[in-house]
Amino acid sequence: MTFHLPGRFWRGNLHTHTNVSDGGLSPAETVQVYREARYDFVAITDHFRPEYGFPVTDTRDLRSEGFTTLIGAELHAPRTEAGQAWHIVAAGLPLDFAAPTPTETGPELARRARAAGAFVGMAHPAASLLTAADAESLDAAHSIEVYNALSDREHRGDSWHLADVLLNRGHRLTTYAADDAHLQPQDPPPCQAWVHVRAETLEPDTLLTALKAGHFYSSTGPELHDVRVEGDTITVHCSPATKILLTGGHPSAEYVEGTDLTEATFPLTFFRTTHHRITVEDATGRRAWTNPIYPVSV
């Protein structure tokens, strides 16, 4: 599992905007915000739209000792069932990634991004009112953005329900949390949601390989120190929590509640043949989530 792989965890944000599109700060200022918040990396994903000149923002000169960037964009093309353009996070794009053609659909654009080497995510599904049919059509996605801090402002930040529907239908997606930071004065403060990526180095290509392999967990606060499946049980060690839960592809759940919980072990009775995950919640209501964990036989 992820927690037992060589290397360490690197903290980063996968969905970030600057004034190259509709963000409030320059790329350099945005990177500085995350550096000062003790992040290890950030993906700048400016809106890949004609009004901004279809930017793939070059952040290579903003990399430094102990901090790196992923080059990417938030891609848009027609159209979802709700009638909106797609919002697709692509981290790891080449700088010369071509603008969409007038007839290119969201799923086609996502396939092209993945073929170009990007880690592809479904951005804020709840806020975009994505349906299961929409999501299934985005067949190039590696991951689904299950928590978006900006969308939480309108109570549409959580997309776990759609994720579980897709996972129960056999789609092997990972799940990530992100800021969707625009750093505008009216926006929520940044650094509210992130991923911890397990990798041996902070090199961009190494991080992208780990992201595509699902070697990460997501958080809005708590830390997961270890998650281990042994036989028919799963054990978690974490930072102090008030609730630790086992949920997934079955309506049932196992959980413990208390004060300063740092460990829990659950039976996998209801999850032997379906995906499952660990959620940890602290005293302030902030949460951390593993990626879906699959039975060995699946």
Residue 297: predicted pLDDT: 52
Regions of the chain where pLDDT drops below 50: 298
Cβ 238 vs Cβ 244: under 8 Å: yes
Sign of the alpha-carbon dihedral angle for 50, 79, 16, 101: negative
Sketch out the chain's domains with CATH numbers. Answer: 2-219 (3.20.20.140), 224-289 (2.60.40)
User: Whole-prediction pTM value?
Assistant: 0.97
Alpha-carbon distance values, 64 to 25, 57, 73, 209, 225 (Å): 19, 17, 21, 20, 27
Question: What stretch of H or E contains 107?
Answer: helix 106-115
Residue 295: predicted pLDDT: 84
Cβ atoms within 10 A of the Cβ of 263, count? 13
Residue 33: predicted pLDDT: 98
Q: 66-122 pLDDT, tens per residue?
A: 999 999 999 999 999 999 899 999 999 999 999 999 999 999 999 999 999 999 999
Tell me the two tokens of residue 1. Answer: 């599992």
